[in-house]
Structure 1
C-alpha cells in the first residue's frame, strides 16, 4: 500500500509541475467581428491583442467586399476614450500596430477596450450590428 501511495504522490507532483506553466495568465486575447448575417461561424475578421508589446493585429478574413476596422479605447468601448483606429480590406489582408510604433500605440497599463467591426471604407462607416465589443485588463508589465 505504501508503494502505491508513493507512486500516486509522485504522479501528482509530476502533473502539478506540468500544470503550473499552463495555468499562468494568458496575455493574448482573440477577437472576431460580426458579419452581415449574424453567424457565429461566418466572421468577417479576426483580431488578436497581445499584452506583451501592446500588439493589436487584425485581418480581413472574408471576400465580402468589406474590410474590417478596430477602434482601441482606454477603458471600455461604451465609456472609454478612443485612442486610435486601424482598418484593412481585402480577404487575407492584415495590419499590426504595437507599442514599438510609439505614441497612442503604447497602451496604458489599465483596462483597454476594442470595437471590432466590418467596415465600408468608401463611406468611412461601420454597421453597429456587425461589431463586437471587447475589453481586457492590460496588466502585463
Structure 2
C-alpha cells in the first residue's frame, strides 16, 4: 500500500510539473516593394531581408508585436542582390506585423503590413 501511495504521489508531481506544450509559430508571407523583400520565420524569430534593386538605397523591415511599444526597424545595407537574416526575440505565440521597405532619400517606399506568429 505504501508503495502504491508513493507511485501515485510521484505521478501527480510529474504531471503537475511537466512541460507545457510547445507553440508552433507561423511563418509570414514574402512581402515586397520596389527594391526590397522580407519574410518572417517563426522558428528562430528572424526576418530574411533582401535588397533587390541597384539604386544605392538600403532596405529594411519594420515590424511590431503586442508589447513592442511601436515599430522596430532592422536595416540592411549590403547592396543590390544581397540578403541578410536578422534575429529578434519576440516571444512565443505573439502575432508579428511587418512590412518591407526601401530607404528612399525623402519618403520611404514600403509594402503593406502582413502577419506571422512567433
Between Structure 1 and Structure 2, how many residues are aligned?
A: 91
SS in 1 for 2:39: strand
Q: CA RMSD in A?
A: 2.5
2:89 to 106, 118, 121: 106
Distance in 2 between residues matched to 1:114 and 1:26, nearest whole Å? 13
Unaligned ranges ≥5, structure 1: 1-24, 36-43, 99-104
Distance in 1 between residues matched to 2:31 and 2:57, nearest whole Å? 18
Unaligned ranges ≥5, structure 2: 1-24
1:93 to 54, 77, 82: 82
Structure having the higher helix fraction is 1
Contact map agreement 2:28 2:115 (CA 8 A) in 1:
no
Within the alignment, does 1:58 sit opposite 2:49 as a pair? yes
In structure 2, the residue matched to 1:133 is 112
2:36 to 45, 68, 85: 45
TM-score by length of 1: 0.53
TM-score by length of 2: 0.62
Higher relative contact order (CA 8 A, sep 6+): 2
Contact map agreement 1:117 1:126 (CA 8 A) in 2:
no
Distance in 2 between residues matched to 1:116 and 1:46, nearest whole Å? 6
In structure 2, the residue matched to 1:69 is 60
